[in-house]
Amino acid sequence: MDNITELNEIAVPRARTRDGNAVNTVKIGPRDELRGTLRVEGDLRIEGNVEGELQATGDIDIEAGARVAARVEGRNVTVRGELHGNVVADVKLNVHGTGSITGDVRTPRLRVDDGTVVNGSITMQAEPGAPAGD
């Protein structure tokens, strides 16, 4: 049986610790598929297949073996799998080992390891409120 979830839009509430940090993490497993828009108050970990749009107030991790065809927006975005779509990383974008991105990137900080692929335009701007030169 296929694990296919088709959504128009879903919002996931954020759980908080006493100090106010998010503890909510949503995971799309290696045998899961998602089609649609997913908005998460917290972190998002993708191991399966996604098509549509992903937004998280926290970090987004696209793991090795994951296939994502979506617009992706999060605080820190890490790509180890295959991503086809534009990326907005508010703090930093990391592309590791087996990772590939085909799409435009907007982030203030970027790390691209040897052997990875990034095809598209890259726009880097300072984080809002950050001093110049950091």
Whether the Cβ atoms of residue 84 and residue 103 lie closer than 8 Å to each other: yes
Whether the Cβ atoms of residue 43 and residue 57 lie closer than 8 Å to each other: no
Each of the 134 residues of the chain gets a pLDDT tens digit; together they read: 455 555 554 454 445 544 555 468 999 999 999 999 999 999 999 999 999 999 999 999 999 999 999 999 999 999 999 999 999 999 999 999 999 999 999 999 999 999 999 999 999 976 565 555 44
Instruction: Report how far residue 19's alpha carbon sits from residue 90's, in angstroms, rounded to the nearest whole number.
Output: 22
- pTM, rounded to two decimals: 0.79
Q: Domain spans of the chain?
A: 3-12+21-123
